[in-house]
Amino acid sequence: MSQNGFEVVGVSSQGKELQDVQNEEAVQTVALEMTRTISPVKDLKSLWKFYKLCKKEKPLMVHSHTPKAGIVGMLGAKLAGVPIRLHTVAGMPLMEATGLKRKVLDVVEKLTDFSVVF
């Protein structure tokens, strides 16, 4: 636990960047595989694993940053009963999508918004 009473756990797909965050920021990290593409089976697995992580760690807050982490993190945290959930929108892949992909992303965005508490 840090001096200010908070313990930060960084969660991301495995990679050099995750290890860099652990080393440079001196925080615990957890690798949780998330694809960048729409992949319903893999996405449900990620959601389940994140839900289980939240049930184990019992965080006060979950903060997500990317579209995939937003849906996995916000929905998983809501299902696990995390009281504070915050998603930061950075970038606009939704605005560039068309057709079926746009419709799927619209639904995902609504689910993310639904599970965020301000």
DSSP string, 23-49: HHH--EEEE----SS--HHHHHHHHHH
Residue 71 shares a structural domain with residue 16 = no
Domain membership of residue 55 as a residue range: 35-114
Whether this model's pTM surpasses 0.85? no
Residue 101 shares a structural domain with residue 50 = yes
Buried b (16+ CB within 10 A) or exposed e, 85-95: bebeeeeeeee
- Asked if residue 71 lies in contact with residue 63, where contact means CB atoms within 8 angstroms, the answer is no
19 compared with 118, residue with greater pLDDT: 19
Domain count, the chain: 2
Report in angstroms the alpha-carbon separations of 50 from 28, 94, 96: 15, 23, 28
Q: What is the pLDDT of residues 43-60, one digit of tens each?
A: 999 999 999 999 999 999
Residue 3 shares a structural domain with residue 19 = yes
Residue 69 shares a structural domain with residue 105 = yes
Give me the pLDDT at residue 118, please: 46
pLDDT higher than threshold 80 for residue 21? yes
Find tokens 């939240």 and name the residue: 54
pLDDT higher than threshold 90 for residue 33? yes
